[in-house]
Structure 1
Amino acid sequence: MPINHSPPPIAVPTFSNSASSECLAPVSTHDANLHQSLSAPDLSKIPTNITERKKRKFEGKEHGKEDTGPVTLSTFNTFSSVQELRFEDLMEKISSIIVQNTDLKHSVEVMSSKYDEFLGRIASLEAERTDDKKKIQLLEDKLEQLERKSRSTGIEIRNVPKTDGETKEGLCNLVVNMGTSLNIDIESSKIKDIYRIKSKDNSHPIIVDFTTVVAKEKVMSGVKRFNKSKDRAAKLNTSHLKINSPLAPIYVAECLTYRTQKLFYIARAFQRSHGYQFCWTANGVVYLRKKVNDPQIRISSKSDVEKLKCTK
């Protein structure tokens, strides 16, 4: 038999404020009956959009795995130990580099001081070398003057055929015969020494050393005067020395020093290449002349020839 339940009484809210109570309408009995329910609703049949939240499961001991806390600490300690070893090794290497840099800096400073010292020595040696060159040049000039003075009384006779068993007396006779052809009185007593010297062309010139410079200058003037007044074929030759040999020209020149001979060779090469008409020596000095009426140019060194090349 069904049991009739009476609905619970509806409590009417009370308000202390009379204005508020006036705004609320009274609840009817029909509206109160709408809140009655015969039975509890089946919540499983009510449609809903709520989904179940799936949480990440904790993988711990309940899943058969051990706690990773001690393992992580051990790994961190191992890593820290390795890093400390690396740091110590790095510090040792840095210390070694610092020491090496210090040694290198010291070496550079030493080398710099040595370099400055060497520069000073080089400058001193250069100054000494310059002074030595000046002294050597001065000594060479003095030696040249002494050698030139010693040869101031000598002449050189070239292209004279050499005979077997040749003696100084025979050579003196050749010079006397040459003086006769030049109309110059040459006595054997005026000849201080006479001899042959070796040469590259095997001509073996004859060196005649007179007793005085006057006698030497007398012979040289006579040779120039004689050759100037003769044709080329009639100039001084072997016939004037009374030599029984094929006719050959004879050349007479001053007895020059080695330095003057070299300078004379350079001057003659310059004469041929630059159109100079005259090149000769007098008293051991080399001279050049462009034309007949031009002034003579004294050649004292190779630099004088270079200057003439620059002016042309």
Structure 2
Amino acid sequence: MDYTFNSGKLMRTPPRPLGEASSQPDLFHTPSDLGDSDLNVNLKKRKYPVDSTENITRTMNDMVININSMLQDLKANQNEQFSQIRKDMSALKKQNDDLLTSNAEIKKTICVISDEQNALKLRVEKLEQGENKAINYVSDLEQQVESLEWKIRETSVEIRNLPTESSYEKMLDVIKQLHQTLNVTYDQRDIRSVYRLPAKQDGPRTIVLEYAGLQKKSELLQAYKKHNQANKEDRLSTNSVGLLGVKKIIYINGRLTRKAQQLHYQARQLVKDGSYRFCWTARGKVFVKKDEGEPIIEIKTVEQMVALSSETRADD
């Protein structure tokens, strides 16, 4: 049964009559049944010419030769690269050996320098110890000189603003009048010496009055302090001792050593700038006090003075 399409529709082929074969092919005919022309069957074989085989062989040989040549070039290139690598490795090894040798020398030099440094360090430590001993020794000597200098000046006082143009006898008369004004017994035998100090500037030269003993010095200083406390508006002056002319305040202080004078001067600066209220000397030493009821501080060194000044600024 066959089917056909017509205008997009499936059509069925009419059936064949019964007994009619659909096809009558003579599949099993014999050659005798065929004509002579049918016996001429052309059988063609695929043949390759001889020249083509030789060309293929030659091509293959050329390819092998080319491959061998390429392999030889590759091998030569690799050998060259390996040779260069060996050279580079040899150079690196030599550099490494040189570095090891150099490092060994550097290490040896460092050891030598380290030994020298340790030796120098020990030497510096010994020098520092010697310096500290020398500083302590100098400090002890300065203290001894300070003590001796104070011992020499222990019984002396300094009188400032008394006229010094007059004669020695006139100066003794003024000193006698000074004792009488302060109600201190005067006996010339109590005086060991009287002399003037060099003047640093124009004005009366300071008079140094040296007593034979410490008692008279203490009496004069106490009387001077008591007089000024009792006469704050009329302190001891040149008019108080009978000297006419321009009135000048007379100052009497125990004579200090040079070191104590410097400390006293700087301590007075603390009073001037308001850091401390009181500053005075006693027995050749310098003292300061901030205010009433505050502890008394003895000034011994310049460094201590600087520290006190810095401490005061920090508090402000």
TM over 0.5: yes
Residue segments in structure 2 that go unaligned for 5+ positions in a row: 1-27, 33-37, 47-55
Aligned residue pairs total 267
Partner of 2:139: 137
1:183 partner SS: coil
Q: Does the 8 Å contact 2:196/2:205 carry over to 1?
A: no
In the TM superposition, what is the alpha-carbon distance from 1:178 to its structure 2 partner?
A: 1.9
Partner of 2:282: 282
Partner amino acid for 2:215?
V
Partner of 2:176: 176
Is the deviation greater in 140-149 or in 237-246? Answer: 237-246
Aligned counterpart for 1:105 among listed residues 104, 107, 111 = 107
Q: Does the 8 Å contact 1:172/1:194 carry over to 2?
A: no
Partner of 2:157: 155
Partner amino acid for 2:108?
H
Q: Does the 8 Å contact 2:154/2:284 carry over to 1?
A: yes
1:253 partner SS: strand
Question: Taking structure 1 as reference, are residues 70 and 108 closer, same or farther at Cα in structure 2, changes over 3 Å only?
Answer: same
Query: 2:301 aligned with 1:297, yes or no?
Result: no
Partner of 2:3: none
Partner amino acid for 2:229?
K
Q: Hey, what's the Cα distance between the residues in 1 that align with 2:276 and 2:294?
A: 15
| TM-score (norm. length: structure 1) | 0.65
Identical-residue share of aligned pairs (%): 19
Q: Hey, what's the Cα distance between the residues in 1 that align with 2:58 and 2:171?
A: 138
Q: Hey, what's the Cα distance between the residues in 1 that align with 2:230 and 2:213?
A: 27
Partner amino acid for 1:152?
E
Partner amino acid for 1:157?
I
Q: Does the 8 Å contact 2:146/2:257 carry over to 1?
A: yes
1:192-231 aligned at under 5 Å gives the runs 192-199=193-200, 204-231=205-232
Q: Hey, what's the Cα distance between the residues in 2 that align with 1:261 and 1:236?
A: 23
Question: Taking structure 1 as reference, are residues 251 and 37 closer, same or farther at Cα in structure 2, changes over 3 Å only?
Answer: farther
Q: Hey, what's the Cα distance between the residues in 2 that align with 1:102 and 1:134?
A: 47
Q: Hey, what's the Cα distance between the residues in 2 that align with 1:224 and 1:88?
A: 101
Q: Hey, what's the Cα distance between the residues in 1 that align with 2:184 and 2:58?
A: 145
Residue segments in structure 1 that go unaligned for 5+ positions in a row: 1-29, 45-53
Partner of 1:42: 44
Question: Taking structure 1 as reference, are residues 138 and 181 closer, same or farther at Cα in structure 2, changes over 3 Å only?
Answer: same
Q: Hey, what's the Cα distance between the residues in 1 that align with 2:236 and 2:58?
A: 137
1:212-251 aligned at under 5 Å gives the runs 212-232=213-233, 234-251=234-251
Q: Hey, what's the Cα distance between the residues in 2 that align with 1:32 and 1:140?
A: 159
Q: Does the 8 Å contact 1:179/1:219 carry over to 2?
A: yes
1:279 partner SS: strand
Q: Hey, what's the Cα distance between the residues in 2 that align with 1:156 and 1:79?
A: 104
1:99 partner SS: helix
Partner amino acid for 2:235?
K
2:158 partner SS: strand
1:28-67 aligned at under 5 Å gives the runs 38-43=40-45, 57=59
Question: Taking structure 1 as reference, are residues 231 and 98 closer, same or farther at Cα in structure 2, changes over 3 Å only?
Answer: closer
In the TM superposition, what is the alpha-carbon distance from 1:155 to its structure 2 partner?
A: 0.8
After superposition, give the CA deviation of every residue in 1:52-89 in whole Å (9 maximum; x if it has no partner).
xx89946969x9xxx67887777667666655554444
Q: Hey, what's the Cα distance between the residues in 2 that align with 1:211 and 1:219?
A: 13
Q: Hey, what's the Cα distance between the residues in 2 that align with 1:116 and 1:183?
A: 73
